[in-house]
Amino acid sequence: MLKKLILIAAAATALAGCAGMSRGSGAADEQAVAAAAERLRVAMIDPTPAALNALVADDLSYGHSGGKVDTKTSFIADLMDRKSDFVTIAITDQTIKLVDNVAIVRHTLTADTNDSGKPGKVSIKILGVWQKQGGDWKLLARQAVRPPQ
């Protein structure tokens, strides 16, 4: 009986240790998602195919506040062709929630733009869904909405 109690106590201790490791890796994953989101912000200002390909999932669904939906190919092409041209991007009020290998990222994006050579300003709310693929966090889905006036 004593051996069984010792085994149960050892198993409970091991499980508690594993739970602690999960919380620790959650914090590391949250930091990794925040870093990936920041790299995407920078890559949208100064785009290169290599940087964007490294951050965006092949199955990307990228919804704009005006209703247009991009794929990975069209999203990258519009940035490279300057049809979508961000001069500055500021991110505020960012939150990150981890659910298994998915991160739900919300923030406010304020930017100066020069889309197709036409200067403008934008302030939108963003919902980003990031997925851990291999060891990297990739943007799988994004939806922008205009905040209420």
Burial of 131 (0-12, 13-18, 19+ CB in 10 A): middle
Domain ranges of the chain: 2-145
- At 16 the pLDDT is 38
What confidence score (pLDDT) does residue 148 get?
87
Q: Give pLDDT, residue 11.
A: 40
Model confidence at 21, in pLDDT bands (50, 70, 90)?
very low
| Architecture of the structural domain at 2-145 | Roll (3.10)
Q: Residue 25: helix, strand or coil by DSSP?
A: helix
Could you tell me which of 55, 69, 48 has the C-alpha nearest to residue 139?
Answer: 55
Rounded Cα distance between 128 and 50, Å, is: 20
Q: What is the pLDDT of residues 101-112, one digit of tens each?
A: 999 999 999 999
pLDDT (0 to 100) of residue 24: 45
Return phi, psi of residue 69, to 5°.
Answer: -120, 125
Q: Do the beta carbons of residue 72 and residue 54 sit within 8 Å?
A: no
pTM, full prediction: 0.82
Tell me the per-residue pLDDT of 106-145, one tens digit each, with 9 for 90 and over: 999 999 999 999 999 999 999 999 999 999 999 999 999 9
